[in-house]
């Protein structure tokens, strides 16, 4: 399994230049059984990272280019009348896949965004009163531009809470951007990537991550970090219990990726900004990351 993880990481690094931390975080979300939200300005590689991951897994990949005219049935599928059989036939939507890329998710209307609520949490789709399970493993990578607000619909808190973690790629360094130019002609393209891990191996890795030991003192540390967000005067909406569970699962996945069968406080400290920031609402237009980093310093480390 360690060899599989190393091969997957190297495969992603072939197309994603200098973003080792972002790759690690996406793998944490994948192996932790959650979903990832990529928030950044256009052109920094959000879609490239999602497509590279999909190509590296030996599974089915679907992409949704979210626009204001996208309907919920365009995602979930719908029942179509079949005149030959004289009955309705269910036509599956792109949600029935292993890796779903929801590109620019905040350009879809709230009604369409809500089509993802059930499937992201319960891994099933209900249409006309009939529930259908999606293939496993099921992983959603959504991207959004946090700067441009014209023609966008901010994700509601319930939708944001479905993502295990959020991350930002940021601009590359000068050396990394020069390497991108050099790779433009001779570098590996996404279409050239070969699958290096099967779906069954992903499921096995998820199980192994869930077996990573989290000491009671570390669980108490996680709990205190979450509960302090509900009591702080600078926060209007604190982190939900779903966030508490997500932080522990992400911590287990990060520990496993680090080659350990036990979690340590540094795992939690590294993940807290990525797991908690998008789940809370600060007061007075304050920056969520700044508030979370202050709270992180205020809680004693076990």
Residue 75: inside a domain, yes or no?
Answer: no
As a whole number of angstroms, the distance between CA 252 and CA 266 comes to 12
Structural domain includes residue 83: no
Q: Give me the CATH number covering residue 273.
A: 1.10.8.80
Question: Domain holding 174: CATH number?
Answer: 3.40.50.300
Q: What's 232's DSSP letter? A: -
Count of domains observed in the chain: 2
Q: What is the 3-state secondary structure (H, E, C) of 192-234?
A: HCCCCEEHHHHHHHHHHHHCCECCHHHHHHHHHHHHHHCCCCC
In this structure, are residues 250 and 165 in contact, taking their beta carbons and an 8 Å threshold?
A: yes
Separation CA 254–CA 116 (nearest Å): 26
Could you tell me if residue 156 is inside a domain?
Answer: yes
- pLDDT score at 258: 92
pLDDT at 148: 66
Write out the residue range of the structural domain in which residue 276 sits.
Answer: 212-298
pLDDT digits (tens, 9 = 90+) for 221-271: 999 999 999 998 889 989 999 999 999 999 999 999 999 999 999 999 999
Do 188 and 162 have their domain in common? yes
Q: Which of 151, 170, 201 is the last residue of a domain?
A: 201
**Residues 226 and 191 placed together within one structural domain of the fold:** no
CA dihedral 101, 155, 167, 144 (to 10 degrees): 60
Say yes or no: 164 and 290 in one domain. no
Q: Are residues 224 and 184 in the same domain?
A: no
- pLDDT tens column, 51-72: 888 888 888 889 888 889 999 9
Are 144 and 279 part of one and the same domain? no
Task: Look at residue 207 and tell me if it is in a domain.
Answer: no
Global pTM value = 0.89
Nearest to 295 by CA among 77, 277, 279: 277
Considering the domain architecture, whether residues 136 and 283 belong to the same structural domain is answered as no
| Confidence at residue 176, expressed as pLDDT on a 0 to 100 scale | 82
Find, among 98, 116, 103, the residue nearest to 55 by Cα: 98
pLDDT of residue 278: 92
Which residues are CB-neighbours of 174 under 8 A, at least 6 positions away?
none
* 154 in the same domain as 181: yes
The CB density around residue 231, as the number of other CB atoms within 10 Å, is 9
pLDDT of residue 49: 85
Mark which of 201, 227, 260 sits at the end of a domain. Answer: 201
172 and 290 in one domain?
A: no
Cβ atoms 117, 158 nearer than 8 A: yes
- Is 84 a member of any domain? no
Name residue 260's beta-bridge partners.
none
138 and 227: one domain? no
Residues belonging to the chain: 302
Burial 157-172 (b: 16+ CB within 10 A, else e): eebbbbbbbbbbbeeb
| Complete DSSP assignment for 117-176 | HHHHHHSEEEETTEEEEPPSS-EEEEEE-SS--TT--PPPHHHHTT-SEEE---PPPHHH
Low-confidence ranges of the chain (pLDDT < 70): 148-151
Q: Which 8-state DSSP code applies to residue 237?
A: E
Same-domain check for residues 185 and 217: no
Same domain, 48 and 2: yes
- Residues 102, 229, single domain; the answer is no
Q: What is the pLDDT of residue 217?
A: 95
Domain assignment present for 79? no
Q: Is residue 188 part of a domain?
A: yes
Residue 82 lies in a domain: no
């Amino acid at each position: 399994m360690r060899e599989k993880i190393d091969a997957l990481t190297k495969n992603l690094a072939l197309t994603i230049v200098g973003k080792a931390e972002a790759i690690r975080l996406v793998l944490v979300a994948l192996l932790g059984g959650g979903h990832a939200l990529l928030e950044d300005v256009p052109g920094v590689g959000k879609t490239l990272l999602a497509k590279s991951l999909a190509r590296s897994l030996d599974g089915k990949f679907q992409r949704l280019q979210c626009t204001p005219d996208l309907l919920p049935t365009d995602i979930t599928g719908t029942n179509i009348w079949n005149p030959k059989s004289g009955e309705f036939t269910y036509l599956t939507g792109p949600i029935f896949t292993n890796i779903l890329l929801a590109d620019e998710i905040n350009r879809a209307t709230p009604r369409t965004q809500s089509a993802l609520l059930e499937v992201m949490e319960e891994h099933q789709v209900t249409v006309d009163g009939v529930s259908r399970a999606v293939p496993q493993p099921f992983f959603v990578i959504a991207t959004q531009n946090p700067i441009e607000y014209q023609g966008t619909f901010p994700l509601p808190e319930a939708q944001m809470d479905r993502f295990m973690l959020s991350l930002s790629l940021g601009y590359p360094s000068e050396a990394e951007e020069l390497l991108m130019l050099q790779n433009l002609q001779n570098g590996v393209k996404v279409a050239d990537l070969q699958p290096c891990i099967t779906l069954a191996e992903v499921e096995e890795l998820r199980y192994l991550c869930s077996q990573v030991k989290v000491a009671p003192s570390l669980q108490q540390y996680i709990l205190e970090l979450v509960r302090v967000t509900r009591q702080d005067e600078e926060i209007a909406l604190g982190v939900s219990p779903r966030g508490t569970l997500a932080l522990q699962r992400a911590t287990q996945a990060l520990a496993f990726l680090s080659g350990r069968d036990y979690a340590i406080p540094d795992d939690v400290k590294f993940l807290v900004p990525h797991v908690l920031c998008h789940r809370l609402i600060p007061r007075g237009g304050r920056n969520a990351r700044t508030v979370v980093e202050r709270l992180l310093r205020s809680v004693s480390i076990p």
